[in-house]
Amino acid sequence: MPPSRESSLQILGKIKMAKKEKCYVVISKDKKYTYGAFKFTPEGQKQAQSYAKQLKGDGGEYLVVEK
């Protein structure tokens, strides 16, 4: 027998969502496709910019954004 609605809500109330951490994300300028994610540190920002530059060599425009 399926659990009652009350018991389902009690179970859901005890579950905690994972904390989302900030990061740098490389996306395409036109369609906003994700190409990579890097740690939210100065080093991660440099890596993201370097990767976007590398992708740009293959053609297209890429942005580094904070998420």
Beta-carbon-side half-sphere exposure of residue 14 (alpha carbons within 13 Å): 5
Answer yes or no: pTM beyond 0.75: no
Q: pLDDT grade, residue 62 (50/70/90)?
A: very high
23 in any annotated domain:
yes
36 in any annotated domain:
yes
- Kindly report, residue by residue over 6-50, the tens digit of the pLDDT: 555 555 556 666 777 899 999 999 999 999 999 999 999 999 999
pLDDT at 33: 94
**Structural domain for 25, as ranges:** 19-66
CB-based burial of residue 11 (10 Å sphere; 0-12 exposed, 13-18 middle, 19+ buried)?
Answer: exposed
Q: pLDDT grade, residue 1 (50/70/90)?
A: low
1 in any annotated domain:
no
The structural domain count of the chain equals: 1
Task: For the chain, state the CA radius of gyration.
Answer: 19
24 in any annotated domain:
yes
5 in any annotated domain:
no
54 in any annotated domain:
yes
pLDDT at 53: 95
